[in-house]
Amino acid sequence: MNVPPEVGDIRRLLDIMAKLRNPDGGCPWDLEQSFETIVPYTIEEAYEVADAIHNGDMDRLRDELGDLLFQVVFYAQMSRETGGFDFDTVVAGVSDKMVRRHPHVFGDMDVADAKAQTNAWEAHKATERESRASEEGRVHSVLDDVAQALPALLRAHKLQKRAARVGFDWTDVADVHEKIAEEIDELREAISNPEKNQPGKPQDAVAEEFGDLLFVLVNYGRHLGIEPETALRNANTKFERRFRQVEAEMEAQGLDLNDVSLAEYNAAWERAKARERDPSPAANSRNSSTLKESA
């Protein structure tokens, strides 16, 4: 099948992928790939989609979505070559799933609002997981299908949400706050008393307690309605923005970052925070005066 280049048709992309994987004249790199070797690229492309959205760059988002779609086409082509599923069956499967999980749109079920739809969606997925476990002859768990490859913060959040659906959860956010204090105490204990830790390297116990603290912090955020990956991503962005301001300030003074004292860093950091709170020219002028006085 030869689809003209000007046609935005999925068939053209499928043809391109098949040619890239053709042993007779295909691309050596594409021919060497397997499901396992492509996974890192898929994850990277998904994050690049998220980054384009975060930056509000719609042109880049269009390109990144194309790259992500190409990953799906790549997997489908590799499977088709071994007699497995192909792109058409991938599309058919997700289409059937969307119809099945939206009976209020494609059937005769009614839902009151978006929250009710979310609850119905989750209940339907839970039923599907139970059926799949039964078909595979294994014991069903409410934690089934929480992917191991998810970023740790996101996976912790999803595990906690699943457990909460069957009542395994704190009922008061204050209890989670107390648990955080408890985990901090246990972390301090592991750091200060390595000989009392469980068998293994003392640092292993410290790392375990640190992980427990992170897990409870994710739970705390969940009770506050905060998605941990987004919160940490925003914190990273804020840190980078402010540190770049600190760097620019030091460069303007002709200072080598390696020679700057912690006190000077802290003062510059506070000035960066002040500029964000009040970006007016007058405020920047005051900050410049403070900078000269502290130099």
User: Based on C-alpha coordinates, what's the Rg of the chain?
Assistant: 26
Highest-confidence range of 35-44, 67-76, 122-131, 202-211, by mean pLDDT?
A: 67-76
**Which pLDDT score is estimated for 273?**
93
Question: Which residue, 178, 179, 158, 170, is CA-closest to 223?
Answer: 170
Residue, of 292 and 48, whose pLDDT is higher: 48
**Which pLDDT score is estimated for 49?**
95
The mean per-residue pLDDT over the stretch 27-56 comes to 94
pTM over 0.85? The answer is: no
pLDDT level of residue 205 (50, 70, 90 thresholds): confident
pLDDT above 90 for 147:
no
> Lowest-confidence range among 105-114, 173-182, 239-248?
105-114
pLDDT above 90 for 289:
no
CATH superfamily of 152-226: MazG-like (1.10.287.1080)
The mean per-residue pLDDT over the stretch 289-294 comes to 47
CB–CB of 229/214 below 8 Å? Answer: no
Average pLDDT of the residues of the chain = 87
Give the orientation angle of helix 202-223 with respect to helix 173-192, to 10 degrees: 170
Contacts 24+ apart (CB under 8 A), 286-289: none
3-state DSSP helix/strand/coil percent for the chain, to nearest 5? Answer: 75, 0, 25
> Lowest-confidence range among 40-49, 64-73, 192-201?
192-201
Residue 56 CA from chain centroid, whole number = 18
Domain 10-100, classified CATH 1.20.210.10, yes or no: no
* Per-residue buried b or exposed e for 35-68, using 16+ beta carbons within 10 Å of the residue's own CB: eeeeeeebeebeebbeebeeeeeeeebeebeeeb
**Which pLDDT score is estimated for 200?**
58
pLDDT in tens, 151-160: 899 999 999 9
State the Cα–Cα distance between residues 21 and 31, nearest whole angstrom.
5
**Which pLDDT score is estimated for 280?**
65
pLDDT in tens, 75-84: 999 999 999 9
pLDDT above 70 for 124:
yes
Residue 1, SS3?
coil
pLDDT in tens, 2-20: 555 555 689 999 999 999 9
